[in-house]
Structure 1
Amino acid sequence: MKKSKLINTQLSLAIARLGHGQALTIGDCGLPISEKTQRIDLALTHGVPGFMETLDVVLTEQQVEEVVIAEELATVSPALFEQLTARIAQLEQDQDRDVTLTMVSHETFKTLSDESLAVVRTGECTPYANIILRSGVVF
């Protein structure tokens, strides 16, 4: 049995498959997911699992060099935006390297998420609670 926090087989495999520059998207329950992109559906009901708790577990496994979010998050869901930016700052300390924060329109975000290796669907219902995590390297 794995020792790390992440025990979901599909999600663990998706992260293990990521190469440098490839992306994993974590989305709220309303984010459209392309038929061509692997869907990892964790949603049980509204709010379960939540966006931040899912992100926190993923970040225990994935090396991240860039984070992409919709610029609308800052104005529509400012509390989540603040949580997220604090978590990115903590991630930089944990990884001992910078993490680029890229903000794009929600429409651009949806297009970029289609290019992800996989999209993780959570039960989150907070508007614009979506993130693309572009992988870095551990060396």
Structure 2
Amino acid sequence: MYEQLKLNNQLCFPLYALSKEITRRYTPFLDALDLTYPQYLVMLVLWEHGGQRVSDIGAKLMLDSGTLTPLLKRLQSKGLVERSRGTDDERSVHIRLTEAGQALERRAAEVPQQLAGCLKMNAAEAEALREAVRKILENI
């Protein structure tokens, strides 16, 4: 067996497993908000940046419009966002929060702290991990 082909020697596997586990840990907190994890990510972008074009949301989340469109339609059906066509370019779709979407931010503000309680890491360890992952993402 080649040493480099052992599962424990792969960088991708612990990152994949960690991503799945963290997403799973979010589930009970997001269920209380009636959001899936990808919907939560979209809401984070809108709470932070306000109204955005679908393409801008996609760029921030590294998601294509084929993935975002059905997700945004579900958020719209929940009354959290409104979608509108651009006035200067009808191909461009703009997303903005409704009052209900804005109000949900107050309830969602507890989620990061709730998740932190599951991770058993101190703030410095969490920040070091976040920075290491950001560096990898920037470099690839």
Structure number with larger C-alpha Rg: 2
Report the TM-score when normalising by structure 2.
Answer: 0.29
Which is bigger in relative contact order (C-alpha 8 A, separation at least 6)? 1
**Per residue, is there more strand in 1 or in 2?**
1
- TM (normalized to structure 1)? 0.29
